[in-house]
Amino acid sequence: MQPHQPAAQKIALPGVKNVVAVASGKGGVGKSTVATNLALALHMLGRRVGLLDADIYGPSIPIMMNIKETWEPNGREWPLEQYGLKLMSMGFWVKPEVAMIWRGPMVAKYLTVFLTQIPWGELDYLVIDLPPGTGDAQLTLTQTAPLSGAVIVTTPQDVSLIDARKGLEMFRQVKVPVLGIVENMSYFATPDGKRHYLFGHAGGQKLAENASVPFLGEIPIDPKVAECGDRGDPIVHKYPDSEVAKAYLKLATTVATEVAKGARPEDLPGLAL
């Protein structure tokens, strides 16, 4: 029998109305790409949005948001801003070639610093890009951050779906609402509009149905997604009229609707959904 563990004290984030975690059960499914473009899509819908990169060991946000210079922790004002988003990442403090060889308690300490000592100001949404898996960083944030809910990212393959289900169950165990599942790299659309499902079809939707959570939508494959991420100008910002950007805008609207279902009236953005 496991000893009883007291519930962790939730962190207060004055001014932040909703906190949305973007998670995956495994790496390689495009979770950081989804988190970044979801945050930008919410901003395009008129929301005030922050993006917290919680992957201490492998931060992606600095490259994806074209902030490649590093600073001393006390060397400038935080959070940084780019493309209308407020940003924080360990990658702003250390050079890309530096390995963060830290144990769990140190990771938890700095994630708490990012949440509580960064002046996020007034935000409608703080999107948190979690590292893949179900380890220390995920538990720290799910148990202490006032999460409005979690978005689970998967791809259509069975191996990804199995791990996505594990991530989903982690949130359930720590009593964090699962807003739903989004299927990334879902299909490739040819110029004639025909969809080609390269990695299987409807796996994310079936997982959502089996887990009794909403299916948030499909994000298509487009070579421009990787190109834009590597160049530091995400596709929602660079090509707002593309099919992928439209899919993210639809995802952002759906996520906002799901968050609103469980939010108090005072926590909702002042704009109509």
Please give the share of the chain, as a percent, with pLDDT higher than 70. 93
Q: What's residue 1's pLDDT?
A: 34
Strand partners, 51: 87, 127
User: Could you read off the pLDDT of 11-48 as tens digits, one per residue?
Assistant: 889 899 999 999 987 788 999 999 999 999 999 999 99
Q: What's residue 234's pLDDT?
A: 97
Q: What's residue 194's pLDDT?
A: 84
User: Could you read off the pLDDT of 240-264 as tens digits, one per residue?
Assistant: 999 999 999 999 999 999 999 875 5
Q: What's residue 260's pLDDT?
A: 93
How far is it, in rounded angstroms, from Cα 34 to Cα 250?
13
The pLDDT-based confidence of 160 (bands split at 50, 70, 90) is confident
Strand partners, 127: 20, 51
The pLDDT-based confidence of 269 (bands split at 50, 70, 90) is low
**135 CA to centre of own chain:** 16
Pairing of strands 80-82, 85-89: antiparallel
Give the per-residue SS3 of the chain. Answer: CCCCCCCCCCCCCCCEEEEEEEECCCCCCCHHHHHHHHHHHHHHCCCCEEEEECCCCCCCHHHHCCCCCCCCCCCCCCCEEECCEEEEEHHHCCCCCCCCCCCHHHHHHHHHHHHHCCCCCCEEEEEEECCCCCCHHHHHHHHHCCCCEEEEEECCCHHHHHHHHHHHHHHHHCCCCEEEEEECCCCEECCCCCEECECECCHHHHHHHHHCCCEEEECCECHHHHHHHHHCCCHHHHCCCCHHHHHHHHHHHHHHHHHHHHCCHHHCCCCCC
Across the chain, what does the average pLDDT equal? 87
Residue closest to 129 by CA, chosen among 90, 183, 176, 161: 90
Task: Please check whether residue 161 is in contact with residue 203, taking contact to mean a CB–CB distance below 8 angstroms.
Answer: yes
- Answer whether residue 144 shows pLDDT above 80: yes
Pairing of strands 49-53, 178-183: unpaired
Q: What's residue 42's pLDDT?
A: 98
Burial class from Cβ neighbours inside 10 Å (0-12, 13-18, 19+) for residue 95 reads: exposed
Q: What's residue 53's pLDDT?
A: 95
- 16-263 has which CATH code? 3.40.50.300
Output the pTM of the full model. Answer: 0.90
User: Could you read off the pLDDT of 42-73 as tens digits, one per residue?
Assistant: 999 999 999 999 998 889 999 999 998 888 87
The pLDDT-based confidence of 7 (bands split at 50, 70, 90) is low
Q: What's residue 143's pLDDT?
A: 82
Q: What's residue 6's pLDDT?
A: 45
Pairing of strands 123-129, 149-154: unpaired
How far is it, in rounded angstroms, from Cα 253 to Cα 31?
18
How far is it, in rounded angstroms, from Cα 256 to Cα 180?
12
The pLDDT-based confidence of 8 (bands split at 50, 70, 90) is low
- Please name the residues in contact with 84: beta carbons below 8 A apart, sequence gap of 6 or more: 40, 43, 49
Q: What's residue 189's pLDDT?
A: 85
The pLDDT-based confidence of 203 (bands split at 50, 70, 90) is confident
Domain ranges of the chain: 16-263
Q: What's residue 167's pLDDT?
A: 86
**Count of CA atoms in the C-beta half-sphere (13 A) of 253:** 10
- Please name the residues in contact with 202: beta carbons below 8 A apart, sequence gap of 6 or more: 156
Give the highest mean pLDDT range of 30-44, 122-136, 172-186, 193-207: 30-44
